Amino acid sequence: MKNFVVLISGNGSNLQAIIDACQKQSIAAKISAVFSDNPTAYGLERAKQAAIPTVVMQKADYADNHAYDASLMAEIARYQPDLIVLAGYMRILTPYFVSHYLGKIINIHPSLLPKYPGLDTHRKALANGDKEHGTSIHFVTEKLDSGPIILQAKVPIFAGDQPQDIIARVQTQEHRIYPLVINWFVKGRLAMVNNSAFLDGCKLPEYGYANED
């Protein structure tokens, strides 16, 4: 069976959705380990409850980002994963790390990329008077939140919404589509070729939506 590792920094709600999907066999692979840069991340407890090995690596224990990522790569190599899944992982990975795993790292970002890379996307959407917001799953490349988009999901923004209202709607969609995309990859349907995302041999649109069938 194929396997993948998940990198987290916080609560791990997407991790929980992925764990649940694996248990329901909606993902044809297993999570071999969960890594975190934050020893207090609740996602670590979610992993332990599912009997998934956890690895905590704190940035303060390393001289610089390159040293951290070199050690992270060595730890990941122990599990020989087919895929690396970023699920609320807040460290920016070095080009050294990304190039080593290029085409095998995916991330979920809470905006309709290319809109609002980086942090505080929900507040930015509200401040700009946007009528919709959403989430994007993409392959990870060296430039932050700029890799080939695989799948996006939109949610409406209503008058009177607060950031937490939008967060709840976006997370509902994230929990639906992230397991779907992971399963595409482990089944060999999804690949990154020449800096583009391909599903079943067909190039996906630069921005937009993929067929869920």
Which positions are catalytic? 109
Nearest Cα neighbor of 205 from 213, 43, 197 is 197
How far from 109 is each of 27, 29, 51, 151, CA to CA, in Å? 20, 23, 27, 11
Indicate left, alpha or beta for 177 from its phi (over 0: left) and psi (-120 to 50: alpha). alpha
Residues 54 and 133: their CA atoms lie apart, in Å, by 33
The HSE-up count of residue 135 (CA atoms within 13 Å, CB side) is 23
Give the rounded distance of the alpha carbon of 152 from its chain centre: 12
The sheet with strand 196-199 has its strands ordered as 190-193, 196-199, 202-203
Token digits for 143?
């430039």
Those residues whose C-beta lies under 8 Å from the C-beta of residue 26, and which sit 6 or more positions away, are 179, 183
Token digits for 55?
């690895």
- Cis amide leading into 114 (omega within 30): yes
